[in-house]
Structure 1
Amino acid sequence: MTNNRMLLSSPARRSIAVIAALLLSAILLVAGHVQAAEPVKISRDDTALDLTATTEIYANQGEAFQVSTAAGADGIRRRIEVRASSDNHQGDWAVFALANVSDEQLERVIVAPHFRLVNSKLFWPDLGSQRVIAITPSEGFALDRQPSDEADVFRITLNPGAVITFVAELTTPELPQIYLWEPDAYKDTINAFTLYRGIVLGIAGLLAVFLTILFVVKGTSMLPATAALAWAVLGYICVDFGFLGKLISIASTDQRIWRACAEVALASSFVIFLFTYLNLNRWHTHLGYVTLAWVLGLALLFGVAIYDPAIAAGIARLSFALTATLGLLLIVYLGLNRYDRAILLVPAWALILVWIFGAWLTITGRLDNDIIQPALGGGLVLIVLLIGFTVMQHAFAGGAFQQGLFSDLERQSLALTGSGDTVWDWDVARDRIVTIPDVSVKLGLPLGAMHGAARNWLPRLHPDDRDRFRATLDVLLEHRRGRLNHEFRIRAEDGHFHWLLIRARPVLGSNGEIIRCVGTIIDVTEQKNSVERLLHDALHDNLTGLPNRQLFLDRLQAVLALAPGGETLRPTVMVIDIDRYKLVNDTLGIAAGDNILIALTRRLRRLLKPQDTLARLSGDQFGLILTSERDPTKVADFADAISKAIMVPINFSNREIILTASIGLASFVDQQESAAGMLSDAELAMYRAKRAGGNRVEPFQPAFRDFGADRLQLESDLRRAIERKELSMVYQPIAGLEDVEIAGFEALMRWEHPKRGSIPPSEFIPIAEASDIIDMLGRFALEQATNDLMGWENQTGELPIFVSINLSSAQLLNNELFDDVRSVLAKTHCDPSRLKLELTESMVMENPEQARLVLEKLREMGLGLALDDFGSGYSSLAYLTRFPFDTIKLDKTMVCDTSDKKATVIRSVIAMARELDMKVVAEGIESNEDAMELAKMGCTFGQSYLFGPPMASESVLRLLKERFPLTKRA
C-alpha cells in the first residue's frame, strides 16, 4: 500500500498556513502544476460508465506525483502527493475524479482490461499486460484490488455528495480502457461473456478434435492442414478469452508472449492450409519451396516472440492479411480454370475476407465497442466450421474411391471404363450381341451394324477365322464352362482387316445352361502388326525383304526332313556371291550398291518357282534352295541362267554396270546331311569359284573340304589370337576442322598372324561374324580402347578427346552388349561420354526394332553414337530421327566427289545435322583446301591420312604430348 500524506490548512493557526502556502507554491513552481479533471457525476442508476475519455495520463512524472484534486462540495481544491509503490515504476500516472450526486452510498468497481483488440494497432501492436498497479483516492486509503486474470479491478465506495480524485499508478503510458461498473452489473456481464466464450470454446474444441479424428480415418493431406488450422484457432481463442490462464499459471508479464505465439501459429496454419488444400505443388514445384520458406520464416517468429512479442505479432498479422490476398487471387484464377477445390473454397474465403476487414477496422480503432473482440473470436470458429464442411465435402466426394469403400461391382466398372475396352455382351437365349461402345463405329460401319445374332458376324470375319470363331462359341455352349479367349480378324468398311481379341466368361442360369456371355473386345491390330514386324525383321533382310541366314537354314532343314531317300525331292543349295561388289560400293557408294542388290533380287526371283527359296546370307551373298528341279542337267542350266541374269547390264547414274557372280552348288546326296553342312559345302564351292577367277559355277566336290579346313584353321587361330596377344588396336586421328587439333581417334583392330603375317579385318571379321568369335573380339576392342584411353589420360592429364569403336551387326543384336559396356566402364572408371560407338546403316537395318532399343539404352548410359558411311546407304535420312545418333560420318565417296551438286548435298547435310544438334565427321579428306572448305560449311571433324595414319597406342601418347605440350609428364 502507498503511504499517502494529505497537507491541509489549519484554520486555528493562520500564520502557519500562510507559510505552508508559500512553501507549497515554491514546490509547484519547481515540480510543475497538475490539476485533476472535472469529476464524473455518478448516480444510483448508472451501472457502467466509460472513464477512458475523462482520464488524464501523465507519463514520465517520476516516483512522486502531485496533483490538485477536483473541487469538493465546499469548492476547495486540495493538493495530494502519491509515491510509487513499485521499484520498477516508469513514472506513468493516470488521474480521474468521481462525484456521487446521489443521496446514497454507492459501491462501484473500477475495471482496466489487460488487453483490448480495439486500437491495438497493426504494427508493433499492444498485446496487453497489467495496466494499473494501484489506485490512490484523495480521501481514505488505497483501493483494494479484486481478483481477476483479465483486468485490473478495484472496488470503491462513494459516500453521498462526495467528490474524490483518484490517482492510478500505471505500468505503461497506454491505458486502452477504464470502466466504472456497478458490481452486480459487472458480474452479470462477466457471466454472460463467460457463457458465450464457453460455447465458442466448446465448438472450437470439438471442431479440432473432429477434424483430427477425420484425418486419422481418411488420411488425405488436406485434413491434417485443416485440423492444424482448427487447433491454432482454438489456441488463439484460449489466449484471447483468458481460458489458458485457468489451465496453467501464466504470469502477467508472459501474457504478451502467449498472445504473440497464438497469432504466429494462426498465421502459419493459415498458409499451410491454403497450400495444401489448393494442392499448389501440383502445378509448380517451386511453389512448395516458397511456401516452405514462408512457414519456416513464421516458425522463427516463435523465438522472436520471447524477446519482442510485438514484432512477432505484427509480422504474423501482416502474413495473415497477405495470405488472404494471395488466396483470393489463386481462388479466382483456379476457379476460372474450373478447379473444383478452388470453387468449393469460395464461401469460406469470402467469410475470411469479411473477418479480416472487421479485424482491420477494430485494430485501427475505426470500430470501437466491447462486443467486437469476442465477436471476432466467434467469427474465427465460424470460419473453421465452414472450412471443415468444405474439406469434408471434397474429401467424401472422392473418398470412397480413394479408400476402397465401394463395391467390387463399382470397382470393376471403373476399371473397365478406365481401360477403354469395349464391352461384348452376347445374350445366348435371344442370340443377340451388343457392344458398348458400339464396335461398328470403330469399323466405320453404320451404327448398330454389329448388333444382332452371332451369325451376322461371320460375313465380316476373315475367311480363315470364320470356322474357328463358330467352333469356339459352339464349344463354349457345349461344355457350359471355361472362358472365351479368342483372336480373329474382322473387315472394316474400308476393306482393311482389324485384329480383335475377345475375353469373356459365360453366365449360367438356374438350370445350368448358359444364358449369356459377357466380356470385352480389344483392338489388338497395332500389337499384331508390331509382332509381325519384329518377327519379319528377325528373319528377313530389311533391304531386299528376303529371308536371312537363320530362316534359310530353317527352311533347308525342313526340306531335308522331307527328302529321306532323294527319290521325289532332291534339293540343291546354291550360294551366289557377286564378284567385285566391294569395288562398286567404294566407287559408286553404298546407295548404288543397295540399289544394285535390289535389282538383282528382282531378277533372281523371276527365275524361281513357288517351291524354291531365295535368301540373302550376307552383304553380297545370296542363298538359294532349288527344289523344283531334280535332274542334274536342269540344275546346271538353272545355275547358268542365274549367272546370265546377273550379267545383264544395270544402268545407274548414266553408267552401265556389268556384274558377274561366283556360284557354288551342293546337291543332296546323303539323308544324314544337316542343313548347316550342306550350306557349308555350297559355300566352299563358291570360294573355289572365286579363287578360280570368278564368273563361274562350281559344283561341290569332297576335295573342296581341304580348303574349308584351311578356313577352319584360320577360325581356330583367331580364337587363340587374343590369348596369344596377336590382336592389337591402332588409332587413326580425328581432328577438329576449325583449329586442326586432335579431337579423338577411331580404334581399328589389327591381327598379326605368326605364320601368315598381317591379316586385314576384311578377311577375319567375316569369319568371326559367322561364328561366336565376334563377341570376343568386340569385348577385346572395347576393353583395349578404354584402357588405352585411360592410360593416355594418366600420362597427359584429362584431355577433351574421345575414342570411336566400330560395332558389328552381330554385336549390336547381342543381348549382352549393354552389360559388357557397363562392366568395362565400371572397371576402368572411364567417362561414358569419351566413347563413341560407330555403326553402319546396313547394320542397323538388319533388325531396326531391336537396334533402336539397344541404342537408346546405350545413349541413356552416356555413350556417343555415330552413324557411319552416312549418305551412301538406303534411305539414310530416316535414321536421324528414328535412332539416337549424335554424330554422323560422311562417306569418303561423298567427300571426295568434286561436282557442284555433291557439294550442295554436303552443305545441306551439314546444315541439317547442326539443326539436329549433331556433329559431322568427314572421312577421306585429301587436301588442306578440302578441309578448309568443309570447315566453312560447318563440318565439325575430319578423319583421313591428311591428319595422320592409324598408329599404335605408344605413338598416340607421343602425339598427344607433342600437340598438347602443357600436359603433365609421366
Structure 2
Amino acid sequence: MRASNDGLWDWDLKTNKIFYSDRWKKMLGFNEDEISDTPDEWLSRIHPEDHDRVRASIDAYMEGTTSHFEIEYRIRHFNDNYLWMMAKGLAIRTPSGRATRFAGSQTDVSERKSNEEQMIYDALHDTLTSIPNRTLLLDRIRQSLVRRKRYPKTSFAIIFIDLDRFRLVNESLGHIHGDELLQLISARLKETIPISDTVARLGGDEFSILLQDIDSVTDVEVIAKDIQNSFSKPFFLGDREVFASASMGIAHSDNDYKTPEEILRDSELAMYRAKRDGKSQSIVFQPQFRQSSLSPIDLDTDLRRALDRDEMELHYQPIISMRDRTISGFEALLRWSHRSRGVISPNEFIPLAEETGLIYDLGQWVLGKACKQIAAWNKSKKKEDQLEISINLSSRQFSDPNLVEGIVENIEKSGFDAEFLKIEITESALMQNAQRSVSMLNQLKDLNIKVCVDDFGTGYSSLSYLHTFPIDTLKIDRSFVHDMSRNFRNMEIIRTIIMLAHNLKLDVIAEGVETREQDAQLSALGCQFAQGFYFSRPINSSDAALLIQQNHQW
C-alpha cells in the first residue's frame, strides 16, 4: 500500500545512475520519459535552502557516520511550485562498509507540513485581524533586547494603544461592526509605520507597536502623533462614518529593560496615565508611574474586565506517559497577566472569582479555550495518538447546577471528542456532598468524560467511596512526591496509592516531579503518568504546539 503512494528510487553508486519509478516522476508532474537516470534530476530540484542539508545527510549516511537516512525537504514540481517530501533510504554495503547501492522512497508530506505551519501561524497571530498577537510581539521584543545587549547603541520603543470609547461602537452598532472597526484600525496602523516594525493586537481594543532603531523618545512621539492624525480620518462601516481616537503610552529601551514583559508593562502604565489625563493623547513612561498600587476593589473590578481585555491566558503542562515517555496530554492552567501588576497568582484571583460569582464565566472560558485548542492539536492525529486535556474544577464550579450543560456546550462548539476531556476535582469537593457528587459524576461519565481525583491523599475522603464514585484517575499530590526520596513514609504512601489504583483499575498521575530520581522511583513503582518541572513547566500554546510537533520523548 505504501509503495503505491510513494515514489521509489534505486541509486547504483558504481555507475552513478538512479532508477526513478513512474510514481516518483508523477509526484513531480513529469511523464516517464521526461526524467533521465542521473542524480542531478533529484538533487538539482531540491530547494536552495534545503540542498546542502540533504547533500550532507546523504554523505553522512554513505560514510557511515549516521545509522539511517531519513530527511524532509522541499523539491520543485514541474509547475515550479515546491512540495514537501520525506525521503527514506537504505544502503547495501560491502564487507568493508563501502556503500554500493542506495535505495529508498519519497513521500509527499506537503499537507502535514502545511497543517503544521498553519498551526504555528495561528498560535502567533490574532484571529480577527491576522496581525501578530501578544505571543509573537513578546518574542520580537525579546529579540530586540538580545540585539541591544549585543549592540548597545541600538534602541527600540513600544507604543501601547487603547482605543477611546470603543465600547460605544459595540453597544450602538453591534459587535460585528465593532470587529470590522478593529480590522480597519489594524490595517491603518500597519500603513502608518515602517514595514520593518510590528503592529500587534493584544486583545479587545488594545494594540501595541514595536518600533525598531528609534534614536530618541521624540521620534516615537512624532510617530504617535502620526497615528493620532491617521485616526482623524473616517472609518467606513457600511454606510456609516466612524471616527476613532486612542490613548497611547510610550516606553523606550533606554530604561535598560531585562524582559519584554517589563517594557510592555511600562508602556501600558503610560497609556493609563494618558487615559486618566484626558484621553486622545500619548504620554511617555516615567519611573514614578510604577508607584500606584491596586486595592482589593480595583482587583475585583479588573477581574470582571480581564476576559474582555484578553488578559487571561491558558498555559499547558505536559502529562507524560511513563510507558513510552511521550506526551499523553496536558493540564490546562489559567494565568492572569494583569496590565499593571503583571502575573497574578491563581491562588489570589480564584478565591476572589468564587466570592464574586465570576468563577462560572472563568470556568466556561477555560473549557471553551482548552477544548478548542486540544481539538486543533488532535485534528491531524490518529485516533490512538489523540491527546487528553485535563481541566480543574473548584468546589464552587462543581456545585453549579449548570456545570454539565456548560461542558456540553463547549464540547459541541469546539468539535472536540468528549472522551479526551478529563475533569479534575479535589477530594474535598467530592466529599462535600457525596450523594450529589455521584449524580454529577454519572452525568459526566454518560458523556464519556473522564474524571480525576486531584491532590489524592491530602483530603478526608473515605476510601470506601472510591468504589462508589465513577472515577478514572487518581492524582498523587505533589507534597508526597517532593520528599519521597528522603521520606520513607511518603514513599510508602505513594506505593499504597498506586497499588490501590491498580486494584480498582484506575490510572495514576504523579504531579510535582522535579528530579530524575523521583522519575525513576515512580516508574519503578508502576505509576503510569507524571507531570512536573522535570519534564516541563506550564508553557503557552505556541510552545506546547512545538513540543507536539517535535514528538518529544523524555
Name the TM-score, length of structure 1 as normaliser: 0.35
2:369 matched to 1:812?
A: yes
Shift, 1:490, TM fit: 1.2
Matches of 1:686 and 1:498, distance apart in 2: 47
2:92 matched to 1:497?
A: no
Could you say what secondary structure the match of 2:127 adopts? Answer: coil
Counterpart AA for 1:422: G
Alignment of 1:734-749 (within 5 A): none
What are the superposed Cα offsets for residues 725-772 of structure 1, whole Å, 9 maximum, x if unpaired?
Answer: xxxxxxxxxxxxxxxxxxxxxxxxxx5xxxxxx778236874664245
Could you say what secondary structure the match of 1:656 adopts? Answer: strand
Counterpart of 1:604 in structure 2 is 189
Counterpart of 1:593 in structure 2 is 178
Shift, 1:682, TM fit: 0.2
What are the superposed Cα offsets for residues 678-709 of structure 1, whole Å, 9 maximum, x if unpaired?
Answer: 110000001111112211011101121123x3
Counterpart of 2:102 in structure 1 is 517
Shift, 1:652, TM fit: 1.2
2:163 matched to 1:578?
A: yes
Alignment of 1:373-412 (within 5 A): none
Matches of 2:22 and 2:56, distance apart in 1: 26
2:12 matched to 1:441?
A: no
Counterpart of 2:534 in structure 1 is none
Could you say what secondary structure the match of 1:572 adopts? Answer: strand
Q: 1:547 to 1:506 in 2, by over 3 A?
A: same
Could you say what secondary structure the match of 1:500 adopts? Answer: strand
Counterpart contact for 1:832–1:862, Cα < 8 Å: no
Alignment of 1:261-300 (within 5 A): none
Counterpart AA for 1:529: S
Matches of 1:600 and 1:765, distance apart in 2: 18
Matches of 1:862 and 1:652, distance apart in 2: 47
Could you say what secondary structure the match of 2:282 adopts? Answer: strand
Shift, 1:470, TM fit: 2.6
Q: 1:526 to 1:586 in 2, by over 3 A?
A: same
Matches of 1:714 and 1:589, distance apart in 2: 32
Q: 1:553 to 1:478 in 2, by over 3 A?
A: same
Q: Which of 132, 138, 158 is residue 547 of structure 1 equivalent to?
A: 132
Q: 1:542 to 1:652 in 2, by over 3 A?
A: same
Counterpart AA for 1:445: F
| Structure 2: gaps of 5 or more residues | 313-335, 338-342, 375-387, 423-443, 448-554
Counterpart of 1:470 in structure 2 is 55
Counterpart of 1:761 in structure 2 is 304
Matches of 2:94 and 2:153, distance apart in 1: 59
| Structure 1: gaps of 5 or more residues | 1-414, 719-750, 752-757, 788-802, 845-850, 864-970
Shift, 1:466, TM fit: 2.2
Counterpart contact for 1:425–1:433, Cα < 8 Å: yes
Matches of 2:264 and 2:348, distance apart in 1: 25
Q: 1:659 to 1:439 in 2, by over 3 A?
A: same
Q: Give the greater-gyration-radius structure (CA).
A: 1
Counterpart of 2:285 in structure 1 is 700
Q: Which of 672, 682, 692 is residue 267 of structure 2 equivalent to?
A: 682
Q: 1:565 to 1:446 in 2, by over 3 A?
A: closer
Shift, 1:640, TM fit: 0.8
Matches of 1:714 and 1:693, distance apart in 2: 25
Q: 1:561 to 1:785 in 2, by over 3 A?
A: closer
Shift, 1:500, TM fit: 0.3
Matches of 2:106 and 2:344, distance apart in 1: 45
Q: 1:652 to 1:587 in 2, by over 3 A?
A: same
Could you say what secondary structure the match of 2:145 adopts? Answer: helix
Counterpart of 2:213 in structure 1 is 628
Shift, 1:586, TM fit: 1.8
Q: 1:481 to 1:675 in 2, by over 3 A?
A: closer
Aligned residues: 384
What are the superposed Cα offsets for residues 816-853 of structure 1, whole Å, 9 maximum, x if unpaired?
Answer: 995336787996597965445777xxxx9xxxxxx654
Matches of 1:810 and 1:686, distance apart in 2: 32
2:18 matched to 1:453?
A: no
2:266 matched to 1:654?
A: no
What are the superposed Cα offsets for residues 842-898 of structure 1, whole Å, 9 maximum, x if unpaired?
Answer: xx9xxxxxx6548885699777xxxxxxxxxxxxxxxxxxxxxxxxxxxxxxxxxxx
Counterpart AA for 1:761: R
Measured on the aligned residues, the alpha-carbon RMSD in Å equals 4.2
Counterpart AA for 2:9: W
Matches of 1:568 and 1:445, distance apart in 2: 54
What are the superposed Cα offsets for residues 630-671 of structure 1, whole Å, 9 maximum, x if unpaired?
Answer: 133322211111111223211112110000011101011243
Counterpart AA for 1:581: F
Counterpart AA for 1:653: G
Q: 1:693 to 1:472 in 2, by over 3 A?
A: same
Matches of 1:423 and 1:553, distance apart in 2: 45
Counterpart contact for 2:7–2:25, Cα < 8 Å: no
Counterpart AA for 1:569: T
Counterpart of 2:10 in structure 1 is 425
Counterpart contact for 2:367–2:407, Cα < 8 Å: no
Could you say what secondary structure the match of 2:85 adopts? Answer: strand
Counterpart of 2:69 in structure 1 is 484
Matches of 2:224 and 2:357, distance apart in 1: 46
Could you say what secondary structure the match of 2:49 adopts? Answer: helix
Name the TM-score, length of structure 2 as normaliser: 0.60
What are the superposed Cα offsets for residues 75-105 of structure 1, whole Å, 9 maximum, x if unpaired?
Answer: xxxxxxxxxxxxxxxxxxxxxxxxxxxxxxx
What are the superposed Cα offsets for residues 752-806 of structure 1, whole Å, 9 maximum, x if unpaired?
Answer: xxxxxx778236874664245579867987999899xxxxxxxxxxxxxxx9887
Matches of 1:519 and 1:825, distance apart in 2: 59
Counterpart contact for 1:461–1:488, Cα < 8 Å: yes
Matches of 2:209 and 2:344, distance apart in 1: 24
Could you say what secondary structure the match of 1:474 adopts? Answer: helix
Counterpart of 1:723 in structure 2 is none
What are the superposed Cα offsets for residues 578-634 of structure 1, whole Å, 9 maximum, x if unpaired?
Answer: 111121122222221222222222222223334322211111111111113213332
Choose between structure 1 and 2 for higher RCO, CA contacts under 8 A separated by at least 6 residues.
2
Q: 1:623 to 1:786 in 2, by over 3 A?
A: closer
Counterpart contact for 2:367–2:391, Cα < 8 Å: no
Could you say what secondary structure the match of 1:601 adopts? Answer: helix
